[in-house]
Amino acid sequence: MRSLLLLTCLGWLGLSASPALGQNPAAKDLLAKANQAAKPIKMVSYRAEAWVEGALVDKFPRFRATVSMKEGDLGAPPLVRFEGTINAPGSSGPAAFLIVVDGKRVLTVDEANRICTVGDLPEAIDLLVQPLQMLFVQEFVHASPYREEFNAASVSYEGKKTVSGTMCHVINVNYGDRRGQANWYLGVNDYLPYRVDQVVNDPQSTGKRVLELSNINTQPDFDENTFATRAREGYEQKKYTRPLRSDPRLLPVGNPAPDWTLKTSDGKSVSLSSLRGKVVVLDFWATWCIPCIQAMPGVQKLHEHFKDKPVAVFGINVGERTWNADPAGFMKQKGYDYGLLLNGGKVAQAYRVIGIPTFYVIAPDGAVLHASAGYDPTAEGAFVRLIESALKDRADNGSEQE
């Protein structure tokens, strides 16, 4: 899962603690054996059932699926196929689903409505989130299978239990961070994982996520169709386009964006009202902020993409930690030439900025189109589509203001 764009998957499927059972095998020795058992695996298939218990029951579906996976080429994500049924909370019954990842694209098949949707990674990662969270065992195709468990705050041996007819050692892992604890059930003969329980200790929702495996096959007979992302004949075909999601903690979409006046690095004044008639993109940032720096190449691409359009792209510098910070010099050194506005602290307050980077897209009429916090490397295409849609609306409305 780390391989699949750094999404945490089985790391979420942690474990519940049980009382220690006297003199038993050392937990880290068993993890070492599990590590050695997983390392040679290049491909695997297994039956999986995943569900939640406790307060989370109404928030997550129940999955029953066959999972197939194969190690990707060097540096590439693994190939994965999920095929089974999903019972969503409140649904009348199970619905069949198929999701295939070939390392570059994602195919989803809605059998009930005969619709195939295909999207490119990383943008189409949204299509994978639920099954990845619940069904994907990254340890089968990872170079360092149990690295996170070896580096956990503590591990302990909890005894033996039978899972789907397989006797297992139970290892409790306390990760020492917000992921809490996990119980790994490792086969006493093959040291493969047959079950993972994750205790969720969020103040808003307590409960447990459970993943149980059976029919594990480390030498499956895959063919060329197993990981094919071709749309099926006779099905409606759709291209996945990721929507932008606004952060509810920021200014609501549709509300008027507060006006402001700020100065550029050469002392010129710019106000939001002076930009009326243009789509305005704002990036609240600071030179010390690593996610801000990671986001800046994408901001530059937006600036270049819409350079000849009525679109204004500005970085609003806020929250510098030293008196001699030089945001203009920083941008020049990096080769970024989109607009820079300085001393934006009061504007950040008006725009409810609680962390950086924070992004706003403002319509030509001054209304908020989008507001989000944090760097998302997969969002660039969605920003382009949102801005293009705003420009189309501007043209349809006959706006001539530049």
335: left (phi over 0), alpha (psi -120 to 50) or beta: left
pLDDT digit string, tens, across residues 282-338 = 999 999 999 999 999 999 999 999 999 999 999 999 999 999 999 999 999 999 999
Quote the pLDDT of residue 23: 41
pLDDT digit string, tens, across residues 332-364 = 999 999 999 999 999 999 999 999 999 999 999
Quote the pLDDT of residue 24: 54
CB 298 within 8 A of CB 291: no
Quote the pLDDT of residue 109: 92
Q: If 0-12 CB within 10 Å is exposed, 13-18 middle and 19+ buried, where does residue 157 land?
A: buried
What residues does each domain of the chain span?
Answer: 10-239, 261-396
Quote the pLDDT of residue 178: 62
Quote the pLDDT of residue 59: 76
Quote the pLDDT of residue 13: 24
Quote the pLDDT of residue 364: 96
pLDDT top residue among 24 and 256? 256
Range 29-36 average pLDDT: 94
Strand 279-285 versus strand 311-317 pairing type: parallel
Whether residue 60 has pLDDT greater than 70? yes
How many CB atoms within 10 Å of residue 120?
Answer: 13
Range 48-77 average pLDDT: 87
86 SS3 class: strand
Range 11-23 average pLDDT: 32
Range 57-74 average pLDDT: 88
CATH, range 261-396: 3.40.30.10
Quote the pLDDT of residue 6: 28
Quote the pLDDT of residue 394: 85
CB 396 within 8 A of CB 388: no
Quote the pLDDT of residue 18: 34
Whether residue 70 has pLDDT greater than 60? yes
CB 106 within 8 A of CB 121: yes
Quote the pLDDT of residue 400: 47
* Longest CA–CA separation in the chain, Å: 80
CATH, range 10-239: 2.50.20.20
pLDDT digit string, tens, across residues 242-298 = 878 899 999 999 999 999 999 999 999 999 999 999 999 999 999 999 999 999 999
Q: Rounded to a whole number, what is the distance in angstroms from the first to the last CA of the chain?
A: 47
* Mean pLDDT for all residues in the chain: 87
* Whole-number percent of the chain with pLDDT over 70: 91
Range 184-194 average pLDDT: 97
pLDDT category at 72 given cuts 50, 70, 90 is confident
Residues with Cβ within 8 Å of residue 342, at least 6 apart in sequence: 262, 263, 264, 265, 317, 327, 328
How many CB atoms within 10 Å of residue 335?
Answer: 9
Quote the pLDDT of residue 198: 87
Quote the pLDDT of residue 269: 97
**Residue 133: enclosing H or E segment and its boundaries?**
helix 129-135
Eight-state DSSP code of residue 345: H
pLDDT digit string, tens, across residues 89-143 = 888 889 899 999 998 899 999 888 899 999 888 888 878 777 777 899 989 988 8
